[in-house]
Structure 1
Amino acid sequence: MAELEDLSKSIHDRLASVHRLLDLSVVDLPQNKMKKLGQELFAIEGLVEESEKHVSRQRDQLQHLKTLEQSSQKYLADLRHLRDNIPEHLPKKNIQVNASEPAKALANAEENQQGQKKLRKVCKGHIKEIEIITIPEYENIPQYMKGRVSYDQLNAAVLCINASVSTKYKILHQPVKALNNHSRKLHQRFKEQETKDTKGQFFVVEGDIREFTETKVDKRFQGILNMLRHCQRLKELRGGGITRYVLL
């Protein structure tokens, strides 16, 4: 912009000079003045050409800026759409091992992972939870099994089961003396439902889901449990007339 202003000022000064020479044209101009007039006109012509080139460059830059503005608006609209449509459930990030790593490092990583799983099982304060179903997992469930259960409804059931497990094992982890009468009865019931096959496992029964949530345990919910077994989030252990849903 400053360059264009400088050109404009130069043209203005040259025109002023030509205007003065023309004012003197009422009288006979000396030869050197005529030569001066020609030089001024030639200089003005050069300045005008340079000014046109500069304007052309500015026009191209303006067009480029408009294109950038349109792209920015599109990206902004996409970002706003992403912000307003964040999925309620996001899959957890999996740690991947580089295939080029030595086999020993891979074995150590697997050993550490198994050790952490064992530690979580024996740690009294830790309460296991079912991981959220991912979209690819949901899409791989057979249609006859899914029925009309949506992705969000399936994960709502996951949260419901997690809430039941959390409440149940918080009661189990407390000293019996610290519990009220109702919680003591629940504590006793939980212990009676345990078997040698559930030792070190986290599980719930239908009564726990009814007790700790407002979920209706009906035929539709049974279908959801089948879907969770298909996705390897649960397994069933039957015995004593009770179906135990063990978290995997």
Structure 2
Amino acid sequence: MLRFFRHIRKPLMEQNKVRKYTLYALGEILLVVVGILIALQINNWNEERINAQQEKIILQNLRSDLILEQQNLLSHIDAQNIWVDGGVYILRHFDDHSGFEIDTELLKRLNDLFARAGYVPVITTFETLENTGNIDLIQNEELKSEIVNYYQSIITFATNTQNNNADLVDGLVNHVLIELTFLKPNLFTDSSKDWFPVFDQVDYELQSNQMFLDHLQTKLSDLDNAARMINVVNFRILLANIQLSFAGEYLERTADLLELIEVELDK
């Protein structure tokens, strides 16, 4: 009988040992799993913290760029107003004198129309975001969409401005002005010189010869030439007004985007 109980007791003890070892092994595995999960969570927290810091830097850089963009747009608007005001002055001069009467102020206004303003948007931060894919660090999807749409649009505006300058101002307006007016260094309005200091240059005495002015007066006394000049001045005013319209729109959009970024930074 005793031998029987010993025979049973031994397997039970072995089963208990196996059970203890199994529970111990499971406990070890559980500790490892919990440790891994904690490590992953800490890693996620660190990554989220780093991403949040990078997002803040990105938004701060975009804010700085947009402030510069506002100044850029205001300068562009100043330039367009020079050409609108100059064009209106030339047309009013023609009406007041029933034709063109060459004088220094008229020549200054005509010379102002030779200039044109390209537009180069401030896109350093946005280009970096696009090239690196870091645009996705911006968590606010609505804000991210607004940023992308804004920059895609203003880049298109800059491209169209460049094309208009090359095709319409240089290719059409300046072609007529070169033929029908008298371009002199330093013969620009003070507004043009302030906007673009290159215009404030040394004059050349040879070009002060009255012969040039008499010849110009003769050309602009011709009705066909006067009509060409009036048409090109009106067209130049139209181009400037188009630029003013777009620049004014982008000035508002820039302010709106700045406000959205400020709100995000304050969170």
Q: Which is helix-richer, 1 or 2?
A: 2
Compare CA radii of gyration and give the structure with the larger one.
1
Structure 2 length as normaliser, TM-score? 0.35
Select the structure with the greater relative contact order (CA < 8 A; seq sep ≥ 6).
Answer: 2
